[in-house]
């Protein structure tokens, strides 16, 4: 007990130091979480030893032995999970605890000559090993590993069928390749044979959603929709406490909802009028370049057309350019109506928005909310909130870890 009090006292010192040395806050916070997790482990083993002593002292028939406590007090259960995230240019990994709090993390650039499946699998395995080494946790202590990746996935077979960022890939068994790179073989209790421990595959958009449900803006909610505002508009749906995937794993493609008949053409899909073409960073940039090419009166005309992007359009709108203001007003109208459609289809408690456009902060969220209220039912007040994501750049990896946890819970 005294040892535990000493550990907690040391942790308080770390917290106090972090208040003063803000530059090292993240590192010290990670160390504190790791110390708390290891303190939990120590208390668990003390509890287990006491149970064993109690059982050894019992002299009656073993079937009559009744321990004085429940099998394992819940506050003594410690878990470690690894989440891996494959992006277009980086691989990332996190080590998290049972609540999704980050204990260690790493992110590494993918070299241009290292985009083959074997090299990507090796890089992902190396990232996992990095977070284990930096935290002092062994692979045998890990409860599970999740892998978030873009592309068209076959969840049953564990395949990346294809991915736009890796055009040469076809039916790649990436989870199994990561397992092989990590040499994951855990002995059974009797040591007679090793058993394979699968890496759980998840779509990258769903992984970001899972992060917010586990440890972010959707924590504790059973109904959450995520809208990702990046180059395109992605999405994910958490309904009745599970990810909605659909017949082919393609549910939640919110950005591809058609909001205007015969509207702007999305060349990537050949479909007109989808939300992504109006309100994504890529769509806004393309629209701005079209305005200049068509001769519309705008201050964007002073910029080389190939340099016009969403960021520049926002800057010119803030400076008072009427064409940019009108363009962005339409984009916000589309986003607000998209949120209405999401509510009618999925009835979420909260809509979480993430991606580069959300860096506009209240300017974006206030505009979207005003449109949302304009088009909401008059028969009742809205119960859904529209909020920014909280998990940041590590969302994909955190959510991948949660996918592994959910898979284990279902299995058990």
Domains of the chain plus CATH, in order, are 2-76 (no CATH), 81-207 (3.30.420.40), 220-389 (3.30.420.40)
Q: Please give the structure tokens belonging to residue 295.
A: 């001769």
How many CA atoms does the CB half-sphere of 26 hold within 13 Å? Answer: 4
C-alpha distance from residue 168 to each of 118, 158, 173 (Å):
13, 18, 14
What residues are paired with 160 via a beta bridge?
Answer: 153, 172
What residues are paired with 235 via a beta bridge?
Answer: 227
Residues 237 and 225: their CA atoms lie apart, in Å, by 5
Residues 182 and 79: their CA atoms lie apart, in Å, by 19
- Residue 301's SS3 state is helix
Task: Identify the pLDDT of residue 230.
Answer: 87
Task: Identify the pLDDT of residue 57.
Answer: 60
pTM for this structure? 0.74
CB 401 within 8 A of CB 83: yes
pLDDT tens for 24-47 read: 555 555 555 555 554 544 454 454
Extract the residue ranges of the chain whose pLDDT is less than 70: 1-78, 185-197, 410-412
Task: Identify the pLDDT of residue 27.
Answer: 53
Residues 129 and 93: their CA atoms lie apart, in Å, by 9
Backbone angles phi, psi at 164, to 5 degrees: -65, -30
CB 99 within 8 A of CB 37: no
- Residue 233's SS3 state is strand
Task: Identify the pLDDT of residue 18.
Answer: 47
What residues are paired with 238 via a beta bridge?
Answer: 224, 243
Residues 326 and 194: their CA atoms lie apart, in Å, by 63
Task: Identify the pLDDT of residue 96.
Answer: 94
Cα 101 to chain centroid, rounded: 13
Task: Identify the pLDDT of residue 308.
Answer: 95
Count of Cβ atoms closer than 10 Å to residue 343 Cβ: 20
Instruction: For the chain, state the CA radius of gyration.
Output: 25
């Amino acid at each position: 007990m005294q040892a535990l009090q000493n550990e907690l006292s040391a942790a308080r010192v770390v917290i106090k130091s972090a208040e003063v040395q803000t530059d090292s806050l993240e590192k010290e916070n990670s160390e504190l979480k790791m110390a708390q997790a290891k303190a939990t482990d120590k208390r668990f083993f003390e509890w287990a030893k006491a149970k064993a002593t109690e059982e050894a002292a019992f002299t009656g028939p073993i079937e009559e032995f009744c321990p004085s406590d429940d099998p394992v007090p819940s506050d003594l259960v410690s878990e470690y999970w690894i989440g891996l995230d494959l992006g277009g240019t980086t691989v990332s990994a996190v080590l998290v605890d049972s609540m999704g709090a980050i204990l260690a993390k790493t992110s590494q650039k993918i070299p241009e000559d290292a985009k083959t499946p074997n090299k990507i699998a090796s890089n992902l395995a190396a990232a996992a090993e990095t977070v284990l080494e930096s935290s002092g946790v062994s692979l045998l202590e890990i409860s599970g590993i999740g892998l978030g990746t873009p592309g068209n996935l076959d969840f049953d077979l564990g395949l990346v069928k294809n991915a736009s960022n890796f055009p040469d890939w076809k039916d790649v068994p990436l989870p199994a390749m990561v397992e092989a790179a990590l040499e994951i073989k855990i002995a059974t209790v009797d040591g007679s044979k090793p058993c394979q421990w699968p890496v759980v595959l998840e779509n990258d958009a769903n992984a970001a959603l899972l992060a917010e449900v586990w440890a972010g803006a959707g924590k504790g909610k059973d109904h959450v929709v995520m809208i990702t505002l990046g180059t395109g508009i992605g999405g994910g749906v958490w309904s009745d406490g599970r990810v909605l995937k659909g017949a082919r794993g393609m549910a939640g493609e919110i950005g591809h909802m058609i909001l205007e008949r015969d509207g702007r053409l999305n060349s990537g899909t050949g479909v007109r009028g989808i939300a992504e073409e109006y309100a994504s960073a890529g769509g806004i940039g393309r629209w701005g370049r079209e305005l200049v090419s068509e001769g519309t009166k705008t201050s964007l005309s002073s910029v080389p057309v190939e340099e016009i992007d969403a960021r520049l359009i926002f800057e010119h709108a803030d400076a008072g350019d009427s064409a940019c203001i009108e363009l962005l007003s339409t984009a916000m109208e589309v986003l607000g109506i998209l949120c209405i459609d999401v509510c009618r289809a999925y009835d979420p408690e909260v809509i979480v928005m993430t991606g580069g456009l959300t860096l506009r902060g209240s300017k974006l969220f206030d505009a979207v909310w005003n449109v949302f209220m304009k088009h909401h039912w008059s028969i009742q007040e809205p119960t859904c909130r529209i909020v920014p994501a909280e998990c940041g750049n590590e969302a994909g990896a955190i959510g991948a870890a949660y996918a592994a946890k959910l898979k284990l819970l279902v299995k058990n």
